[in-house]
Chains A and B, each alone.
Chain A
Amino acid sequence: MIHWVELTVFAVLFLLVTVLGFVASRWQRGGSLDHLDEWGLGGRKFGSWVTWFLVGGDLYTAYTFVAVPALLFSSGALGFYALPYTVVLYPMVFLPVLRLWSVSRARGYVTPADFVAGRYGSPVLALLVALTGIVATMPYIALQLAGLEAVLRTIGLNESGIGGHLPLFIAFVILALYTYQSGLRAPALIAFVKDILIYLVILVAVLYLPAKLGGWTHILDVSSAKLNKINPSTGAKTGSVLLTGANQLQYITLAFGSAMALFLYPHSVTGVLASRGRAVLRRNMIALPAYSLLLGLLALLGYVAIAAGSTPIVNRASGRPDSNTIIPVLFHDQFSSWFAGIAFAAVGIGALVPAAIMSIAAANLWTRNIYKAFLKRDASPAQEAKQAKLASLVVKVGAVLFVVGIDPQFSIDLQLIGGVIILQTMPAVAIALYTRWLHRWALVSGLVAGLAYGVYLLYIIPNPATKAAHFGGSALTLGKISVFGAHPFGDSKVQIYVGIVALLVNLVVAVVVSAVLHATKVGNGSDETAEPDYHTDEGTLPARTITEGATPAT
């Protein structure tokens, strides 16, 4: 059954942002869009406000808005890790992000892998970083689609088979077309609409719903009672409104690891590099936590949904209840139809903004670090831009096939893997911003070791609730860690985030191999960057002329 009022409101707002997406190509245009700096970084001149909306739209995605409350709904306090994650994020990245911006501006870098290539003169290391970035980003895009689909199915567009994905196809073809045409300016402009809608919906939801449902005391009591029930398929409590002895470490490492991973994702770097100067970034690091507040409030809606007795919709394409529909269902049950339509549009448009930025970031990686580095070294700026535009289409088609061909549950697993593997680029990208002591071949070894061990650990984690033997989540029980057959933690039931464990292995390998290579005097490549590059600001450089080649003016 289709809910027509909701669908109409949704469609009107969707149409509005489509028009914006196409108009965006004319917005604040400096040079020709036939240059990667223009198409892929919006001319590198976004100011504080635009950056705030763009990076906000980039980091706080529809999937976050849908999945974080869904996690509280199903397992309680653990899902609230999203709040500490986005609070420690800004103090953590405040200094390194400024260095990355400066060196990228000074040397004309477009991607994190560009920086690695310049810093170490090692195309192999850069290629590995680029591939890791692309592989980690693809399922992330697919998840934005999962968020969009959760909304569409709640509206009533919930058919079985391939036809059930048709609305998603249409939405994505439109997105692909205006991203192709306007580049990064499209999501930057649409982010304004997205955020206004999201703020409106969340504020109404967190003020109105708790009052309607008997206040927070009642909501928490009901949630606590429900989470304390024994789940028949696992024989344990489903969750708790406080952390337990077993998941406290998981909460801490998940928040810390996710914060560290976030600005390693290529799409975050794209948002950062598109800003005009260091002052813009500094102001944003202070202003962006406004979204964190929003995310925390939104997370609590998971408990509101328990108190309201909402139940997830069964996805007719997969035949299973889709827990990501819980927040859309809550809105549908509790709001009037037209306001539910606005709320759905907020989530839906919230999926388009990051999906566009992510596909641009992946396209930039392909173009700069694979196409130009290996396939066509003499590519002109116009050829680079063309290549990136085409790659952005390929990436989106890939993401759609992902969602259609694979069980949505599996796409969430892949996202989990994505987070663990992007974290492994930390030494090569973040530590390299400060020192070249880690040897390039040591970074290659550490990255490969971290990737392999991380994926292996994810593989051995079962999920008793869904009866899956592998890839059952990112919570590793310490008792499962073995060091050459010995179990240093005995049979401890304490859980930890896999990403952190894999990163530790990565770092140990990188440090040991570096020590050996330095001792044996193996060459460490050439560094094209110099210390002043890391402090370059908008005023200290002549404005880069966009028509010129990618070679930087220094």
Chain B
Amino acid sequence: MRWSAWNLLLLVPFLMLVTPWFNRMEPRLFGLPFFYWTQFAFVPVGVVCVAVVHLMTRDSGPPPPAGGDDVDALDEGALR
């Protein structure tokens, strides 16, 4: 098991499941009730948490082979 404390950040988006916090109409944003736009706001929160964990816990194995014939040419990964 390769554990990193950064992984705990993955728990933050679960705050979204505490619905009593935002289950109300006001304040509205662009006419959308608080209930709806707060949950939209959680989408970037989730993305940031996962992205930080990704960046801080990169695998420290040998690097993947450069180029390679079987690599999908469409992919940005092929350029590494």
- Interface size class of chain B, counting residues whose CB lies under 8 Å from the partner chain: 35 or more
Closest residue on chain B to residue A251 by CB atoms:
B19
- Cβ contacts under 8 Å, A92 to chain B: 10
Q: Are A243 and B64 in contact (CB under 8 A)?
A: no
Assess A539 versus B62: contact at CB under 8 Å? Given A91-B10, A248-B20. Answer: yes
Task: Report if B31 contacts A (CB, 8 A).
Answer: yes
- Looking at the complex, which one of B10, B31, B64 makes contact with A537 (CB distance below 8 Å)? B64
Stretch at the interface among A285-293, A342-350, A438-446, A476-484: A285-293
> A77–B22 Cα gap in the complex (Å)?
12
Task: Report if A471 contacts B (CB, 8 A).
Answer: no
Assess A45 versus B71: contact at CB under 8 Å? Given A88-B46, A94-B50, A276-B77. Answer: yes
- Cβ contacts under 8 Å, A543 to chain B: 68, 70
Q: Are B51 and A80 in contact (CB under 8 A)?
A: no
- Cβ contacts under 8 Å, B19 to chain A: 243, 248, 251-252
Assess A95 versus B10: contact at CB under 8 Å? Given A84-B39, A242-B25. Answer: yes
Assess A46 versus B32: contact at CB under 8 Å? Given A84-B16, A296-B39, A539-B65. Answer: no
Task: Report if A219 contacts B (CB, 8 A).
Answer: yes
Task: Report if A408 contacts B (CB, 8 A).
Answer: no
Assess A80 versus B39: contact at CB under 8 Å? Given A276-B77, A535-B61, A537-B61. Answer: yes
Per-residue B-contact encoding for A111-139, CB less than 8 Å = 1, 0 else: 00000000000000000000000000000
- Cβ contacts under 8 Å, B77 to chain A: 47-48, 276, 279-280
Q: Are A94 and B10 in contact (CB under 8 A)?
A: yes
Q: Are B46 and A289 in contact (CB under 8 A)?
A: yes
Q: Are B40 and A88 in contact (CB under 8 A)?
A: no
Assess A217 versus B28: contact at CB under 8 Å? Given A87-B46, A293-B40. Answer: yes
The smallest beta-carbon distance between A534 and chain B, in angstroms, is 9
The smallest beta-carbon distance between B42 and chain A, in angstroms, is 5
Assess A83 versus B40: contact at CB under 8 Å? Given A28-B72, A43-B70, A252-B19. Answer: yes
- Cβ contacts under 8 Å, B30 to chain A: 216
Per-residue B-contact encoding for A323-337, CB less than 8 Å = 1, 0 else: 000000000000000
Q: Are B23 and A248 in contact (CB under 8 A)?
A: yes
Task: Report if A90 contacts B (CB, 8 A).
Answer: yes
The smallest beta-carbon distance between A239 and chain B, in angstroms, is 13
- Cβ contacts under 8 Å, B49 to chain A: 91
- Cβ contacts under 8 Å, A537 to chain B: 59, 61, 64
> A242–B59 Cα gap in the complex (Å)?
43
Task: Report if A449 contacts B (CB, 8 A).
Answer: no
> A87–B10 Cα gap in the complex (Å)?
11
Task: Report if A10 contacts B (CB, 8 A).
Answer: no
Closest residue on chain B to residue A214 by CB atoms:
B31
The smallest beta-carbon distance between A56 and chain B, in angstroms, is 15
Q: Are B32 and A220 in contact (CB under 8 A)?
A: yes
Per-residue B-contact encoding for A243-269, CB less than 8 Å = 1, 0 else: 100001001100110000000000000
Q: Are B71 and A91 in contact (CB under 8 A)?
A: no
Q: Are A282 and B35 in contact (CB under 8 A)?
A: no
Closest residue on chain B to residue A47 by CB atoms:
B75
> A218–B32 Cα gap in the complex (Å)?
10
Task: Report if A277 contacts B (CB, 8 A).
Answer: yes
Enumerate A175-221 residues with CB–CB distance to B below 8 Å.
Answer: 210, 215-220
> A30–B71 Cα gap in the complex (Å)?
10
Closest residue on chain A to residue B45 by CB atoms:
A87
- Looking at the complex, which one of B40, B64, B71, B78 makes contact with A539 (CB distance below 8 Å)? B64
Per-residue A-contact encoding for B41-80, CB less than 8 Å = 1, 0 else: 0110111011101100001011111001011111111100
List 29 A–B pairs whose Cβ atoms lie within 8 Å, in order of A's numbering.
A28-B72, A43-B70, A46-B72, A50-B74, A80-B35, A83-B39, A87-B45, A88-B13, A88-B16, A88-B46, A94-B50, A216-B32, A217-B31, A220-B33, A242-B35, A243-B19, A248-B19, A252-B19, A256-B17, A279-B77, A283-B54, A289-B43, A292-B46, A293-B43, A296-B40, A300-B36, A535-B59, A535-B61, A543-B70
- 18 new A-B contacts, CB < 8 A, other than A218-B31, A241-B35, are A47-B72, A47-B77, A77-B35, A83-B39, A84-B42, A91-B49, A92-B10, A219-B31, A242-B33, A242-B35, A248-B20, A285-B54, A289-B43, A535-B59, A537-B61, A539-B63, A539-B65, A540-B61
